[in-house]
Structure 1
Amino acid sequence: MRLQSVDTHLVVALHALLQEKSVTRAARRVGVTQPSMSHALSRLRAHFGDPLLVQVGRQMTLSARARDLTPRAAEAVERLEQVFRPVERFDPGRSRRMFRLVATDNLELLVLPPLTRLLAAEAPHVNLRCRNIPADFAELLRRGELDAKLGRGGPVPDGCRSTLLVAEQLVCVMRRGHPASRKALTAARYAACEHLMVSPHGEDHSVIDRELAARGLRRRVTLTVSHFLVAPFILSGSDLLLTVSARVAGALARKLDLVVRPCPVEIKGYTLTLVWPERSEGDEGHRWLRGAIERAVACEPVAGPGAAGTVRKRAPGRAERG
């Protein structure tokens, strides 16, 4: 049966009749006249081929078919109410909404600490669920199972939008007192060091190695790890050198008194972006979340040479459509 052939007003009347077991009380509940509800009952009886309400003595009772329909009619009315309910304005101070994010661990490191502080101050009851980026993240965004993806910039998936969070540059991080910290870090001295590389997917080489090879140089990657968070603890107790984005370097350096130096190998930086589904473009709560993420990144310190870094604020990026 096609829904077009059904008068959906009858769903509301059916629910009221099954709940009240009285045409008069059902009419009062819905806000129509008694004859109108009586007419609706006649149409419902014809549609289902069943009396629905049966006179037993001085009261009306439900037929077997009506008892079977009762929970389904209640569910149908509830769903209709949800569809036509006015959209509530998002109030971050009172909302108990949950947002689901996926992110690379470097962006978790950069975004989540300041974002958590923003939530505590502005949206104390809002919850976040953040996990690693799956291969099918774009489809999950489009299906509404994810709210946003934070990671390296790239093509914007169909049905999604994107904005630049920050453009990153690479720097070198080492323990204070590292031999390489005592002189200017040239490409040759850089290549002579033993290196730590963060490699989420297990690669042994990167664009840095290709750039060194073009100069006739080669470095030794002594250790690769899959997560940024372990790197500072390794650096603080070794003579390894880590090449990483300036903002990640700032976060690492502040924790364990590490030294930051400019990268002597000219490598083009990369962008970090926020991607979300187009379906959420007009969602007040989602707009607030996107703004909060941008504010969190904009106030994150950037590592300067020799120290933990300074604060640089960035104007919000322009959204791109996929």
Structure 2
Amino acid sequence: MVLDALLAERHVSRAAIRLNKSQPAVSHALARLRALFDDPLLVRHGGQLQPTVRALEIAPRLTEALAHMRQLMGSHAFDPSQERHVFRLAMSDYAALVLLPQLMAVLRRQAPNVDLLVGQASREVMMAQAVDGEIDLALGVFPTLTEDLRTSLLFEEDFACLADAASLDGEKTMDLPAYLKRPHILVSLRGDTGNEIDLALAAGGHKRRIALALPHWSVAPGLVLGTDLVLTVARRILPRDAEAGPLTVFDPPFAIPPFAFRQIWHRRRDADPAHRWLRDLIAQALVPPEADLAIARR
């Protein structure tokens, strides 16, 4: 258990929290494991513990063995109201906005001793972190996965446009020529045009002008107000009350394929009761009531 926590957390203090033990107790346990395996197992590098080659060889077999032991001992249930647990998640700014408000409200009511450590990384890095055991779960868009990774579809997302209502002269929508004449905001980690929106435009022989590229989904809608800018983003990122104010939400004047939003994890965590509980909870948190779903898809 101690080695599993250390390999997952890469930090003695965080492993101690995960195990509900003192930091000295975890340090002493690590010293005994190093002697047992005749290997350092974890070495400090850049302020973090990095696993040795031997530790990386042990990690997947250790996790699977622990899962089997829990099953053999009858530990099929995870009681979120009583048990203490720390989960490490990776997700984008978009995922945090659409998931965390609902998820944290449920966690605080149902699982007051469950904590989340959330990080952000590129799609490729998140998949590598899941494989290496650095995170428990990643959320995002993953068109392809390695055979060691498991996935479940959370929802399919489409796109919507946002513009300052005053700049539309009373119109509620925009045709393609008008859309292409406008300057645009692009939300992208890398600031390039290799995204669903620009690829869809390019397929029709069109190109838009990007006046602002930034990596922050959360601030993008507010940058439209008082300008001639157009923001085309995943629909769920837009404020639910956007159309009640000085902004107008409308469908893109060209077809953009929807994307699948998923959660992914390593197969060694399949049988972990706590992990299964979290996956189910996330799926439930992202299912809106019928009324909200109608608003989101209008």
Structure 2 CA distance, aligned partners of 1:252 and 1:205? 30
Aligned with 2:84 (options 96, 99, 102): 96
Matched, 1:108 2:96: yes
8 A contact 1:247–1:303 mirrored in 2: no
**Residue 95 of structure 1 aligns to which amino acid in structure 2?**
E
SS of 2:271's equivalent in the other structure is coil
Counting only pairs closer than 5 Å after superposition, residues 53-202 of structure 1 correspond to structure 2 as 86=73, 87=75, 89-134=77-122, 135-179=124-168, 182-202=171-191
Summarize deviations over 1:28-64 as a string: whole Å, max 9, x none: xxxxxxxxxxxxxxxxxxxxxxxxxxxxxxxxxxxxx
| Residues 32-47 of structure 1 aligned to structure 2 (within 5 Å) | none
Q: Does 1:289 align with 2:278?
A: yes
Secondary structure in structure 2 of the residue aligned to 1:153: coil
| Runs of 5+ consecutive residues of structure 2 not aligned to the other structure | 1-30, 37-64
C-alpha separation between the residues in 1 aligned to 2:292 and 2:164?
14
- Aligned-residue Cα RMSD (Å) equals 3.3
Q: Is the 8 A contact 1:153 1:270 kept in 2?
A: no
Q: Is 1:249 matched up with 2:238?
A: yes
- CA shift digits 1:184-209 (9 cap, x unpaired): 31111111222111011120464433
CA distance in 2, matches of 1:254, 1:189: 20
8 Å contact 1:162–1:273 — kept in the other structure?
A: yes
Partner of 2:295: 310
Cα deviation for residue 251 of structure 1 reads 5.6
Partner amino acid, structure 2, of 1:261: F
Three-state SS of the structure 1 residue aligned to 2:89 is strand
Query: 1:195–1:220: 8 Å Cα contact kept in structure 2?
Result: yes
The normalised TM-score by structure 1 is 0.63
1:298 matches 2:287: yes
Question: Take 2:287 and 2:135, find their aligned partners in 1: how far apart are those partners?
Answer: 23
2-side partners of 1:98 and 1:255: how far apart?
Answer: 40
Cα deviation 1:102-122 (Å, max 9, x = unaligned): 112111111111111111121
Would you say the 8 A contact 1:208–1:265 is kept in 2?
Answer: no
Residues paired across the two proteins, number = 232
Q: In 2, Cα distance between the equivalents of 1:180 and 1:122? A: 49
TM-score for both structures, normalised by structure 2: 0.67
Distance, in Å, in 2 between the alignment partners of 1:279 and 1:90 is 17
2:224 matches 1:235? yes
Higher relative CO (Cα under 8 Å, sequence separation at least 6) belongs to 2
| Bigger radius of gyration | 1
Q: Retained in 1: the 8 A contact 2:103–2:282?
A: yes
1:230 aligns to what SS in structure 2? coil
Partner of 2:208: 219
**Offset of 1:137 from its aligned partner?**
3.0
Residue 17 of structure 2 corresponds to: none
Structure 1 counterpart of 2:85, which letter?
Answer: R
Residues 139 and 263, structure 2, Cα contact 8 Å, conserved in 1: yes
Q: Give the counterpart letter for 1:189 in structure 2.
A: A
> Quick one: structure 1 residues 237 and 120, their matched pair in 2 at CA, closer, same or farther if it must change by over 3 Å?
farther
| Residues 232-256 of structure 1: CA deviation (Å, up to 9, x unaligned) | 2212242211101111124683897
Q: Distance in 2 between matches of 1:145 and 1:208?
A: 32
**In structure 1, the residue corresponding to 2:231 is in which secondary structure?**
strand
Post-superposition Cα deviations, 1:127-157, rounded to whole Å, max 9, x if no partner, equal 0011112544334323332111101131122
Give the AA of the match of 2:270: E
C-alpha distance in structure 1 between counterparts of 2:207 and 2:291, whole Å = 28
The one-letter amino acid paired with 2:92 is: T
How many angstroms does 1:286 deviate by? 0.8
